[in-house]
């Protein structure tokens, strides 16, 4: 087992620890595919980013690294991880995340307006 590690949340990359050249190269390709929001809850990968993320998942798996679902804390195979990134579960979590983000923002705005009174 290598020290490479990748975790996914909201159907996208949450965190990554790179120790091998192949994983670093795959991450560079993913990083170059487009912009990345600092918050996984608000980030939506393009189809090119999803493809590059699947390549990154393969690189981590080939290096013997672990891949983890941050929602369940369960470890996944590369195929499970790619299905998660490309599948309905990620979209459902993304939609749930958008609702959570809106509710948090509304709450903060309401609290701020109450403090101004």
Overall number of domains in the chain: 1
CB 19 within 8 A of CB 4: yes
Angle at 41 between CA 39 and CA 43, to 5 degrees: 65
Note the pTM of the prediction, 2 decimals. Answer: 0.72
DSSP state of 97: H
Summarised one tens digit per residue, pLDDT across range 96-110 is 556 666 777 778 787
Which residue range forms the structural domain that includes residue 32?
Answer: 5-116
Tell me the two tokens of residue 108: 């903060």
Q: 62 versus 112: which is more confidently predicted?
A: 62
């Amino acid at each position: 087992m290598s020290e490479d590690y990748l975790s996914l949340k909201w159907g996208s990359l949450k965190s990554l620890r790179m120790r091998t050249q192949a994983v670093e190269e795959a991450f560079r390709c993913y990083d170059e595919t487009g912009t990345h929001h600092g918050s996984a809850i608000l980030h939506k990968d393009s189809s090119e980013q999803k493809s590059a993320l699947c390549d990154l998942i393969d690189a981590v798996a080939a290096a013997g690294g672990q891949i983890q679902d941050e929602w369940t804390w369960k470890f996944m195979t590369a195929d499970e991880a790619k299905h998660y990134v490309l599948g309905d579960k990620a979209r459902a979590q993304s939609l749930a995340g958008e609702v959570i983000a809106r509710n948090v923002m509304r709450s903060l705005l309401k609290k701020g307006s109450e403090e101004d009174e």
